[in-house]
C-alpha cells in the first residue's frame, strides 16, 4: 500500500512537470513571434505563397510612356496624282521613263506601312493607280465635272476636294502631300517643302515643314546625293488651304506639300531610282512625322 502511494505521487509530479514544460514552450514561441513581428524579420507566415497582385516592374510604365506620343494619332498621306493623271514625267529618247504618279504611290505606300508599324493610324487618299475621284463626281459642288475629252477622269478641283474630304472625314491630325518635281530647265534640282501661313494651325504646319525639310537634307546627304536645298515656301495649295469659296473647302488639320527632287534632272532622277534613294526619302518622311508627334526618330 505504501509502495503504490509513492508510485502515484511520482506519476502526478511527472505530469505536473510535463505540463509546466509545455506551458513554458508555448510562452517562448509566442514571445518569439512578437519579436519577429516588431523587428520585421521573416516568419513562417511571411513566406506562405500569396495570390495578392504585385506592383508592375518599373520598365512597364516607362515603355508605355515611350509609345504614347504615336498611339492614337492619325496621319493622312496624300499620294499625288494617279490613274489618267500622270503628274510630272521624265522623258528619255522621247520615251516616258518616269511618272510622278508611280513614284508617289510607291513612296506613300512604303511610308504608310512604316508609320503603321510605328503605331500610328494611317489613311491614304489612294492606294492603287487611280484618281481620288474616279467616278468623276461633282465633289466640290460647283457644277463642273471632267468632260470625256479631258486627260483625266476627274475635274482637278473635284479630285483635290476628294483628297481633302478623305483626310477630314478620317479626323486626321496631320496631312502630308507627297509629290515629285519637274521643270523644262533640266539643271533645276533639289527638294522643297510648302505650307500655308493663313490657317489657324499654321504654326504647326510650319513646324512640320521644318522637320521634313531638315530630315530630307540629312537623309539625302547621308545617301550620297548633293541635293540643292530649295528651302521652305509659303503658298496656297488645294490640299493645305486656305478655303476657296465655292471651289474648295479646306483641310482641317496642319499639313505640308513636299516636292522630293526633280524627275527632269539627271542626277535627281538617277538617285530616285536606286534602292538607297527610295530608302532615304521614305526615312526622312517617317522620322519627321515621328518627331512631330514627340516620339524619338527611332
Mean pLDDT of 94-117: 97
Q: pLDDT tens, 192-202?
A: 999 999 999 99
pLDDT above 70 (res 16)? no
Given a contact cutoff of 8 angstroms between Cβ atoms, the answer to whether 147 and 123 are in contact is no
Q: Please check the confidence at residue 262 and state whether its pLDDT lies above 70.
A: yes
CA distance 178 to 259: 7
* The pLDDT of residue 148: 84
pLDDT of the residue at 38: 43
Residue from 181, 174, 157 nearest 87 by CA: 181
Task: Say if residue 245's pLDDT is above 70.
Answer: yes
DSSP secondary structure code for residue 261 in this structure? E
Q: How many CA atoms lie within 13 A of 121 on its CB side?
A: 9
Structure confidence by residue, pLDDT tens digits, 118-139? 999 999 999 999 999 999 999 9
The answer, yes or no, to whether residue 34 has pLDDT greater than 50, is: no
Work out the average pLDDT over 39-58. 37
Q: Would you identify the CATH topology of the domain 64-292?
A: Aminopeptidase (3.40.630)
pLDDT at 217: 98
How many other C-beta atoms can be found within 10 angstroms of the C-beta atom of residue 95?
7
Parse the chain into domains and list their residue ranges. 2-47, 64-292
HSE-up of residue 76 (Cα within 13 Å, Cβ side): 27
Q: Residue 29: its pLDDT value, please?
A: 44
Give the Å distances, CA to CA, from 171 to 71, 182, 252, 253: 15, 32, 8, 8
Q: Which pLDDT score, from 0 to 100, does residue 98 have?
A: 98
**Max alpha carbon distance in the chain (Å)?**
141
Amino acid at each position: 500500500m505504501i509502495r503504490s502511494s509513492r508510485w502515484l505521487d511520482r506519476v502526478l509530479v511527472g505530469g505536473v512537470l510535463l505540463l509546466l514544460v509545455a506551458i513554458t514552450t508555448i510562452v517562448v514561441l509566442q514571445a518569439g513571434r512578437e519579436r519577429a513581428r516588431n523587428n520585421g524579420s521573416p516568419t513562417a507566415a511571411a513566406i506562405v505563397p500569396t495570390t495578392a497582385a504585385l506592383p508592375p516592374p518599373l520598365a512597364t510604365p516607362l515603355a508605355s510612356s515611350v509609345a504614347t506620343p504615336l498611339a492614337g494619332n492619325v496621319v493622312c498621306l496624300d499620294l499625288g496624282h494617279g490613274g489618267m493623271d500622270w503628274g510630272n514625267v521624265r522623258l528619255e529618247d522621247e520615251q516616258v521613263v518616269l511618272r510622278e504618279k508611280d513614284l508617289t504611290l510607291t513612296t506613300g505606300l512604303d511610308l504608310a506601312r512604316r508609320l503603321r508599324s510605328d503605331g500610328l493610324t494611317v489613311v491614304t487618299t489612294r492606294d492603287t493607280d487611280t484618281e481620288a475621284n474616279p467616278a468623276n463626281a461633282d465633289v466640290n459642288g460647283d457644277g463642273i465635272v471632267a468632260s470625256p475629252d479631258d486627260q483625266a477622269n476627274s475635274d482637278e478641283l473635284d479630285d483635290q476636294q476628294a483628297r481633302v474630304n478623305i483626310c477630314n472625314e478620317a479626323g486626321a491630325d496631320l496631312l502630308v502631300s507627297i509629290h515629285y518635281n519637274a521643270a523644262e530647265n533640266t539643271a533645276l534640282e533639289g527638294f522643297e517643302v510648302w505650307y500655308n501661313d493663313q490657317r489657324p494651325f499654321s504654326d504647326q504646319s510650319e513646324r512640320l515643314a521644318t522637320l521634313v525639310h531638315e530630315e530630307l537634307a540629312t537623309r539625302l546627304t547621308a545617301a550620297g546625293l548633293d541635293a540643292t536645298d530649295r528651302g521652305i515656301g509659303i503658298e496656297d495649295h488645294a490640299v493645305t488651304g486656305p478655303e476657296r469659296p465655292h471651289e474648295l473647302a479646306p483641310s482641317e488639320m496642319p499639313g505640308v506639300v513636299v516636292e522630293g527632287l526633280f524627275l527632269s534632272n539627271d542626277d535627281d532622277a538617277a538617285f530616285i531610282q536606286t534602292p538607297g534613294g527610295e530608302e532615304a526619302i521614305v526615312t526622312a518622311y517617317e522620322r519627321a512625322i515621328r518627331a512631330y508627334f514627340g516620339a524619338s526618330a527611332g
